[in-house]
Structure 1
Amino acid sequence: MKVREAAEFTEAAGTRVHAAVLGPAGAPDVVCVPGLGCSHRYFLPLARRLASEARVAAVDLPGFGRTRGPREPLDVRGLSRALADWLRATGRGGALLIANSAGCQVVVDLAVHSPDLLGPVLLNGPTMDRHARSPLRQLGRLLVDGPRERPTLGLVLARDYVDAGPRRVLGTFRHLLADPIERKLHHLRTPTVVVRGDRDPVVPRSWAREVVALLPDGRFAEVPGAGHTLNYSAPAELAGIALALLAEWRSGHRRES
C-alpha cells in the first residue's frame, strides 16, 4: 500500500516552513534535509521506506519547494539557522537527521551553532569535495552522475529548480562552493554515518573517507552500484543504514537512562 504524506506548515525562520510528513505519530522522528535546489519531493522514496518505523519529516528550506524564502538566496549559515528555528518550533530537536549532498553542509553548519538540536546524523554524499571546489568540476561531476540515477529523478529536479528559480539556485550554489565543510566537521559530535554510492562521481571514496576521518564519531558506508542521490535511486539500501543507526542511538539512550 502506498504511504501518503501529510503537508505540515510551521511558522519559523521568518516564513511558513513546509514539510511532508509520513509515518505514525509517536514513532521516532527522522528529518530529511535536501540538497541544492531540491524539495521534499526527492526524499519521498526514502521517506516511504522509513515510514513504517519512523515519523519522517522531509523539510523544504526557505526558498525551495513549498516554503517561501527571502529575495536574496540564503547562504549556508542562513539555511542552517532556518533549519534550527524549524527544529525548535516543531519539537524535532534530537531527531535522526538525514541529509543529501548540499544538505550535508547545512547539517554540519547546524552543529557549529546549535549542537543541542542534533541526534544521530546520516550524511549521504557530502559536498563540497575540497579537492574539486570549482563550478566546472562540480557541474561536470553532476553530468556524469545523471545516467547513474533513476530516470525519473531528472523530472523531479527539473520541477524543483523551476519552482526555486535559476537566480536562487545559482546564488545558493555559489554560497555552497564558498563553504569549507572540512573546517567544521569536528563540531559534529554525535554518531555520524557518511554514506556514498560506489558509482558516485560527485563524492569520490577518498573524499568521503576524509570526511569520516575529520568527524569525532564517524563511520563509512557504501552502497554498491549506486550514484549520488541514494535517497531517490537506492532508498531501500539507505533506509536500512538509517534504521540501523537510529536503533543503535535509541538503544544507547535506553542504557544511559
Structure 2
Amino acid sequence: MQRISTEVNGRPMAAWRAPGRRPPVVCVHGAGVSSRELLPFVEELGRRNEAWAVDLPGFGASPGPAYPLGLRALADAVADWTAAADLDGVVLLGSSFGCQVAVDAAVRHPDRVAGLVLVGPTVDAAARGFGRQLLRWLRNSPRERVSMAALNIADYRDAGTRRVVDAFREALRDRVEDRLPHVRVPALVVRGAGDRLVPQDWAEEVTRLLPAGRLAVVPDAGHMVPYRRPRELAALVGDFLSGGLAAADARGGGRPGRRAAG
C-alpha cells in the first residue's frame, strides 16, 4: 500500500491506496478514529480493486482547523478530496459513522459518487441517545479484536477530546434515515451478525429506505467488519462491484444526475 497526501482546500488530507481495477473504492472511517481501522480491508480489496482509506480532517494524519468539523463539512471534504485526487465515479464505503458521512456526500455530491457500501451503519433511530449507544458499545466490545481497542485509544488520543466528543455528538444528531431515500446510486448494506450497535431490524430498515439497496450479513463478526473480517467483506464488495453496480452502469443508472435533495 502507498500513503498519499493531497491538498484539499489549503490543507493536506492523507490517504492509503492499494492499486487495482476501477472503480475506486474510497473508505471513510468512524467517529473519532482514523483510517487505520480500515487498512486490513483496503489491503485485501486491493488484490483485485483500487481501494483507498482516507483520514478525515482533524483525524489520523489529516490536520484539521482549530474547531471540529460537522458532518456536512466532513462529507464536503470527502467529495472535494475525490476531485483533488482525480477520482471519478467512486464507490464510497463508510464504516459506522463513516456511513453517515458517505450518505451525505452521495446525496449532496451525486456527480462524485457511483455507489455506496454501508458497513455497520449508525445511528439506529430507535436508540438515538448517548446512554443507549454506550450500553450497546459495551455489549459489542467483546466481539472485537483486542488490537482494535488499542488502535481506537491511540486515535482518540491523537484527535483530542474535543474532536472525538463532537464527532459522536454529530452522529447522534444526524437523522440519516431522512436522507437514505434520496440516495440515487446502488448501495450495499453490510452488518456483522454479532453487531450489538447495529441490530438486524435497523440494518433492514436502512436497506428498505434505500431506493436501490441490498443487505448482506457477515457471520462471526461484530461492529468492525473491515477489521475483523476483511477477506469476507472484500468478497462481498467485489461481488457488488461486478454485479449490482456493473448492471446499473450498463442500464445507465450508475452515475446519477447533478440534482441533489436537501
Measured against the shorter chain, the TM-score band is over 0.9
Equivalent residue in structure 2 for 1:61, among 56, 62, 70: 56
Aligned partners of 1:75 and 1:176 also within 8 Å:
no
Pair 1:19-2:21 in alignment: no
Q: Which runs of 5+ in 1 are unaligned?
A: none
Equivalent residue in structure 2 for 1:160, among 155, 162, 169: 155
Count of residues in Structure 1 that have an aligned counterpart in Structure 2: 252
Deviations 1:89-119 (A, max 9, x none): 1122312211110000001111221111111
Partner AA of 2:232 in structure 1? E
Partner AA of 2:4 in structure 1? E
Task: Label 1:255 to 1:81 Cα distance change in 2 as closer, same or farther (>3 A).
Answer: closer
Equivalent residue in structure 1 for 2:3, among 7, 15, 20: 7
Q: CA deviation at 1:176?
A: 1.4
Aligned partners of 2:107 and 2:184 also within 8 Å:
no
Three-state SS of the structure 2 residue aligned to 1:152 is: helix
Instruction: Provide the rounded CA distance (Å) in 2 between the counterparts of 1:38 and 1:13.
Output: 22
Three-state SS of the structure 2 residue aligned to 1:119 is: strand
Three-state SS of the structure 2 residue aligned to 1:219 is: strand
Aligned partners of 1:80 and 1:109 also within 8 Å:
yes
Partner of 1:202: 197
Instruction: Provide the rounded CA distance (Å) in 2 between the counterparts of 1:216 and 1:163.
Output: 38
Three-state SS of the structure 1 residue aligned to 2:43 is: helix
Equivalent residue in structure 1 for 2:225, among 225, 230, 253: 230
Partner of 1:31: 26
RMSD between aligned residues: 1.6
Partner of 2:134: 139
Question: What stretches of structure 1 move > 4 A for 4+ residues in a row?
Answer: none
Instruction: Provide the rounded CA distance (Å) in 1 between the counterparts of 2:88 and 2:140.
Output: 33
Q: CA deviation at 1:233?
A: 0.6
Instruction: Provide the rounded CA distance (Å) in 2 between the counterparts of 1:187 and 1:68.
Output: 31
Partner of 2:214: 219
Three-state SS of the structure 2 residue aligned to 1:63 is: coil
Three-state SS of the structure 1 residue aligned to 2:111 is: helix
Partner of 1:185: 180
| Percentage of identical aligned residues | 44
